Amino acid sequence: MSDLSSSLPGIDVASGLPRVAGNKKLYLKLLRQVAGDAPKIKEKLNDAVMSGNTDEVREQAHSLKGSSANLSITAVYAAAQQLEQAAKADDMAGVVMHLGELENALDEYVAVVAGIED
């Protein structure tokens, strides 16, 4: 188990915590909220990819990019940014590749958040 004072893989706590005025309880709540939303996000992205809807992929990736940037969830942010760029370019092969990378980043993030103590 780890806490918010330690280094967490894929999360820049030193950068994210000041965005909530140093409120560790609030920061942890927001981190857990994103982690809890991960399955729904992955489902929406997969549905959009399966239907060939790159506009929806771009919108979902952009939204996730924003929330992960605000909380300094660096690995998820980077993967969402790549997915958004591929969707903007209407590059379906790139979308599929980056979707896999984003899903892996989300899975790793969820595991890290699950290990954070209150």
SS3 state of residue 40: helix
Lowest mean pLDDT among 1-5, 38-42, 51-55, 106-110: 1-5
Structural domains in the chain plus CATH codes: 23-114 (1.20.120.160)
Residue 6 scores a pLDDT above 90: no
pTM to 2 decimal places: 0.92
Q: How far apart are alpha carbons 81 and 37 in whole angstroms?
A: 18
Residue 59 scores a pLDDT above 70: yes
Of 87 and 2, the structure prediction assigns the larger pLDDT to 87
The contacts of residue 7 (CB under 8 Å, 6+ apart) are 13
Q: Identify any residues that bridge with 116 across adjacent strands, giving them in sequence order.
A: 2
What are the φ and ψ backbone dihedral angles of 45, each rounded to 5 degrees? -65, -45
